[in-house]
Structure 1
Amino acid sequence: MDRVLMVQGLIVLVTVGIILYILYLYLHLWHQKYLLSQQLQLQQDLMEKTFASIHNGPVQTLGFLIREVEIHQVNQQELLEYLRGVYQNILVDVENLNLSNSTKHR
């Protein structure tokens, strides 16, 4: 009789151990899924911020330049200055995005 109780106790302990291990694996996978979804959201936010930054700044300036060139005779030097300004704005925006992206990953 004592052997039967001992075997039953061992079966219960092994079963509880297996259940706890399965629960641990489930929680670990859930945590990984949560971290991946956060990373995906950060990437999505960065893409939207990049699009907005490029669209709201340099793209609008280029659109303005195209209209001005079509409507008026624009001096070549003036056009080059505008284009250099657009280029500088793009560089600044990219640098700011790189800095904000590197601080988010720390």
Structure 2
Amino acid sequence: MSCEPDEGRGPVDFKVSRGQEKTLIEVKLSSNSQYLHGYEVQVEEYGKAEKTDKLVYVLVDVGNPLKVKRLKELHKENIGQGKKVPELIIIDSMPKVSASRT
């Protein structure tokens, strides 16, 4: 596993590899104004540079439900159109009440 390896198109956040098999992981916070660019363009460009189509896009939701909704809609739309899409993972990082307090 490599953090921020730069193969010519800029550093992807993580690269996991085993021999010639590579998976690239791009992570964005939902507060990042470039979150859609990361999903639509960035991760694909990294895949081309690394010669892999195993791509994962992780959005860490820090309190932007409209951005999360928009990304989910876009992902579903792209799949419906038969486009190649990265695997999408959304992490809810909103503060929660402690289990010991409930």
Tell me, yes or no, whether TM beats 0.5. Answer: no
Higher Cα Rg: structure 1 or 2?
A: 1
Structure with more of its chain in helix, by fraction:
1
The structure richer in strand per residue is 2
TM-score, structure 1 as length reference: 0.25
TM-score when scaled to structure 2? 0.26
- Using CA pairs under 8 Å that are at least 6 residues apart, name the structure with larger relative contact order, 1 or 2: 1
